[in-house]
Amino acid sequence: MACHLAIAGVTGAVGQEFLSILEERNFPFTTLKMLASSRSKGKKITFKGKEYTVEELTKDSFAGIDIALFSAGGGRSKEFAPAAAKAGAVVVDNSSAFRMDPGVPLVVPEINAEAIKAHKGIIANPNCSTIIGIVPVWPLHQVNPVKRMVVSTYQAASGAGAAAMAELEAQSREILDGRKPTCNAFPYQIAFNCFSHNSALGPDGYNEEETKMVKETRKIFNCPDIAITATCVRIPVMRAHCESINLEFADPMTPEKVRELLAAAPGVTVMDDREHNRFPMPIDASGMDDVLVGRIRQDESLPDNRGINIWVAGDQLRKGAALNAVQIAERLLEL
Amino acid sequence: MACHLAIAGVTGAVGQEFLSILEERNFPFTTLKMLASSRSKGKKITFKGKEYTVEELTKDSFAGIDIALFSAGGGRSKEFAPAAAKAGAVVVDNSSAFRMDPGVPLVVPEINAEAIKAHKGIIANPNCSTIIGIVPVWPLHQVNPVKRMVVSTYQAASGAGAAAMAELEAQSREILDGRKPTCNAFPYQIAFNCFSHNSALGPDGYNEEETKMVKETRKIFNCPDIAITATCVRIPVMRAHCESINLEFADPMTPEKVRELLAAAPGVTVMDDREHNRFPMPIDASGMDDVLVGRIRQDESLPDNRGINIWVAGDQLRKGAALNAVQIAERLLEL
């Protein structure tokens, strides 16, 4: 079960994470093509002891390719993913370009792996904050339907790419040295600050990150009427997102039941140590595959024990992006 | 209208902020006594061009004092505030020691200034995250009762004192230099990280910061049945707290109405620039008196337009602590 694999956007933060994860999981491939924009053409990347030369991503890049992992931005996905699919590859696309396309499966393998089968050459990887939030909500929703979710996010710089992570570091140094922070990757100071997510705002005042969470969750859960509201915020953290999630269930739910269900759920690690006030933190989640869940409490502000609060942390570059895409690719190999 | 004033805990982060605010507001005093623990006894502090010597806080410190601003920790408030009251001073106490005492008014002047009159020598200043969250909720609640609040906080290091602010800076340097961060003031790494608030957890799994928000809001609003649930989190920010607040109203509410009410509300500045994606940030709120409010949106996850999301930012040391206490003291002078 091996394949001819391509990675589009290999030099980016998620592209580099693709390589780590493919190596760690010993993903079986016969050939590997590394693709990026013309800027990175000719760069050498050593992977599993072999040196690869980065080629320019073009519409002709995909002859003979079985699976193409894309993380090169929405514009490039729109331009090149259909060509890759036409050439016979299955694209697993990390951008938002095709997520809400009714003909494109939007997949979190722990939730809706079976949707993969319906693909027509493109499978979409959901947005990072959506994936990290819903992996632990799904096993609860299966047992006791979630009627409403109120989500507030604490999102890392990595979601805006490698340049944003470098900017957080550079700004921190500038501020510690008493200098004015330089803003390029982000519109506002990220070091020692936080701000409402820097994606475009719709006419309803919600930014795209928030709207994605609502729409993508409904599609992945195949539950168009689940009520969701989100407030998405960037905080000065490198590469793991946290989320404060308030859940309203159809029927009574206890923290004990939530803990029991999550302890048995795939892709989830419960870290809920009340005795030591030890709950998931970004530095715990960084480099981890699982979404960490803690602060599991009854929300007494809802009647009949129908409310539960949880706090989650997940690696934005791994489960939030590259890992989820590689897990989809692994499922593709099993078809 | 002048008074004999004392400050207990003058060398701490809030104590220093008391001095800035008293000077800025030209608070009228005849004499000023600077008090702190024995460790700081003899320290010199220059205030409004005059040098003061810090005296040790004892039960005998308050003869002839009219108003005593306390921010010396809950233990010292419990020990010394009753003695100050007995000596004839009115204590405005920034600690949690007396907040839930039914005989002690708990006051945010914009909300329940009239409660000051019932004092018996001690008036409590609410917790920082409570004050910052409820200043903008109150004017809405007056017009259309808030049935339920779901709050997630983004809290600054300053809430844990000057040592915690220094620790955020020191840890940031350590991490940027590739060293292991040193944790003293906080139990966990705060730089480039976030964690569930480091206050003690109750048997229900809520930390004290969260429980304070529920109980204090009910007391200040004089509304024992308002439903509130909170998740309180520390983020690597110096001195301003942010809060993501989801509000469920009794009757339909529009973002336009919220904006109109808040534009006219005392202690609130609306910063809700959707066009430029420009909303309140900690660096905006730092040094400001008002609580900044933005991200005012209809929450479509609630029926009948009864849901509203807002995002607030307020200076933890000012409105969250010292400013609110000085505002209470100003009202005392008017009695």
Q: What is the CATH number of the domain that holds A237?
A: 3.30.360.10
On the question of pLDDT at A2 being above 90, the answer is: no
CATH number of the domain enclosing B101:
3.40.50.720
pLDDT digits (tens, 9 = 90+) for B256-269: 999 999 999 999 99
Residues B103 and B153 in one domain: no
Task: Please give the pLDDT value at position B126.
Answer: 98
Residue B7 CA to residue B19 CA, distance in Å, equals 9
Please give the annotated binding residues of A, written as ranges: 11-14, 39-40, 99, 155, 158-159, 208, 234, 316
> What is the set of active-site residues of B?
128, 241
Joined together, the tokens standing for residue B271 give 């910063």
Q: Are residues A60 and A138 part of one domain? A: no
Give the residue among B324, B322, B326, B319 at the shortest CA–CA distance from B29: B326
Contact A237 B279 (CB under 8 A): no
Q: Which residues in chain B have Cβ-Cβ distances shorter than 8 Å to A168?
A: 192
- B237 with A238: Cβ contact below 8 A: no
Q: Contact, A15 vs A320, CB < 8 A?
A: no
- Residue A128 has a pLDDT of 98
Q: Please state the rounded mean pLDDT for residues B181-197.
A: 98
Residue A113: count other Cβ atoms within 10 Å of its Cβ. Answer: 16
Asked if residue B83 belongs to a known ligand binding site, the reply is no
For residue B204, the chain A residues in CB contact (below 8 A) are 297-298, 300
A194 is catalytic: no
Contact A255 B205 (CB under 8 A): yes
The amino acid at residue B105 is P
pLDDT tens digits, one per residue of A176-189: 999 999 999 999 99
**Average pLDDT value for residue range A130-139:** 98
Compute the average pLDDT of residues A241-249: 99
Ligand-binding site membership of B11 (annotated): yes
CA distances from B13 to B17, B35, B54, B238 (A): 6, 14, 15, 12
Neighbours of B287 (CB within 10 A): 12
- Using the predicted structure, report yes or no on whether residue B146 has a pLDDT greater than 80: yes
Query: How far is B111 from B138, CA to CA, in rounded Å?
Result: 7
Tokens of B137: 């909720």
Residues of A in contact with B305 (CB under 8 A): none
Same domain, B55 and B193: no
Find out whether A194 and A236 touch, Cβ atoms under 8 Å.
Answer: yes
pLDDT of residue A1 exceeding 60:
no
Q: Is the pLDDT confidence value at A5 over 80?
A: yes
**A294/B196 CB distance under 8 A:** yes
- For residue B326, say whether it is annotated as part of any ligand binding site: no
How far is residue A328's CA from residue B93's CA, in Å, rounded to a whole number?
Answer: 57
- Cβ–Cβ gap B235/A301 under 8 Å: no
Q: Is A45 helix (H, G, I), strand (E, B) or coil?
A: strand
Do the Cβ atoms of B228 and A279 come within 8 Å? no
| In the predicted structure, residue A245 carries a pLDDT above the cut 90 | yes
Closest chain A residue by Cα to residue B294: A196
pLDDT (tens digit per residue) in B40-67: 999 999 999 999 999 999 999 999 999 9
**A176–B169 C-beta distance less than 8 A:** yes
Shortest CB distance from A194 goes to which of B172, B281, B301? B281
User: Quick check: A194 and B282 CB within 8 A?
Assistant: yes
- Per the annotation, where are the binding residues of A for NADP(+)? 11-14, 39-40, 158-159, 316
Interface size between A and B, measured as CB pairs under 8 A: 163
DSSP 8-state code for residue B73: -
| Same-domain status, A200 and A101 | no
How confident is the model over A57-76, as a mean pLDDT? 97
Sequence letter at residue A206:
Y
Q: What is the pLDDT of residue B316?
A: 97
Instruction: Find all residues with CB under 8 Å of B38, minimum gap 6, and list them.
Output: B56
- What total number of domains does chain A contain? 2
Residue A7 in contact with residue A31, Cβ under 8 Å?
Answer: no
| Count of other CB atoms within 10 angstroms of residue A1 | 6
What is the Cα–Cα distance from A43 to A2, expressed in whole angstroms? 26
For residue A129, what are the β-bridge partners? none
Chain A residue nearest residue B278, CA to CA: A196
Q: Which amino acid is at A233?
A: V
The fraction of chain B above a pLDDT of 70, given in percent, is 99
> From the list A169, A206, A301, which residue is nearest B297 (CB)?
A206
Q: Residue A242: list chain B partners with CB under 8 A.
A: 194, 233
Nearest CB to A196; choose among B148, B295, B298: B295
Confidence grade of residue B31 (pLDDT, cut at 50, 70, 90): very high
Note the pLDDT of residue A13: 92
Interface test with B, best of A244, A273, A293, A304 (most B CBs within 10 A): A244
Residues from chain A that touch B150, judged by Cβ atoms under 8 A, are: 150, 246, 301
CA distance A5 to chain B (A): 35
User: Domain residues for A77?
Assistant: 4-125+321-334
Q: Mean pLDDT across chain B, nearest whole number?
A: 97
With left for phi above 0 and alpha for psi between -120 and 50, is residue A305 left, alpha or beta?
left
Residues A107 and A149 in one domain: no
Mean pLDDT of chain A: 97
Residues A190 and A295 in one domain: yes
Distance from CA of A83 to the nearest CA of B (A): 35
Q: Which helix (H) or strand (E) holds B329?
A: helix B323-334
Q: Is residue A97 pLDDT above 60, yes or no? A: yes
Strands (E), chain A: 4-8, 31-36, 44-47, 50-53, 55-56, 67-70, 90-93, 122-124, 146-154, 195-196, 227-231, 233-234, 240-249, 268-270, 291-298, 307-315
**Best A179, A297, A311, A316 residue to mutate vs chain B (most B CBs within 10 Å):** A297
Over residues B102-128, mean pLDDT? 98
Both tokens of B25, joined, read 């507001």
Which H or E run contains B246? strand B240-249
pLDDT at B1 over 80: no
Q: Are residues B65 and B140 in the same domain?
A: no
Report the alpha-carbon distance of residue B122 to residue A315 in Å, rounded. 48
Q: Is the domain of B102 the same as that of B241?
A: no
Q: Are residues A170 and A204 in the same domain?
A: yes
Q: What are A277-305's pLDDT values in tens digits? A: 999 999 999 999 999 999 999 999 999 99
**B2 pLDDT above the threshold of 80:** no
Tell whether A161 and A197 lie within a shared domain: yes
Least confident range from A1-15, A241-255, A271-285, B254-268: namely A1-15
Q: For position A144, what pLDDT does the model report?
A: 98
pLDDT at A133 (0 to 100): 98
Please tell me which of the candidates A187, A207, A309 has its beta carbon nearest to residue B231.
A309
Q: Which of A128, A197, A232, A242 is catalytic?
A: A128
Both A285 and A327 in one domain: the answer is no
ipTM: 0.96
**Could you read off the pLDDT of B282-333 as tens digits, one per residue?**
999 999 999 999 999 999 999 999 999 999 999 999 999 999 999 999 999 9
Do residue A158 and residue A11 come from a single domain? no
Report the distance separating Cα A79 and Cα A96, nearest Å: 13
How far is it, in rounded angstroms, from Cα B158 to Cα B136? 22
| pLDDT tens digits along B201-256 | 999 999 999 999 999 999 999 999 999 999 999 999 999 999 999 999 999 999 99
CB B305 within 8 A of CB B254: yes
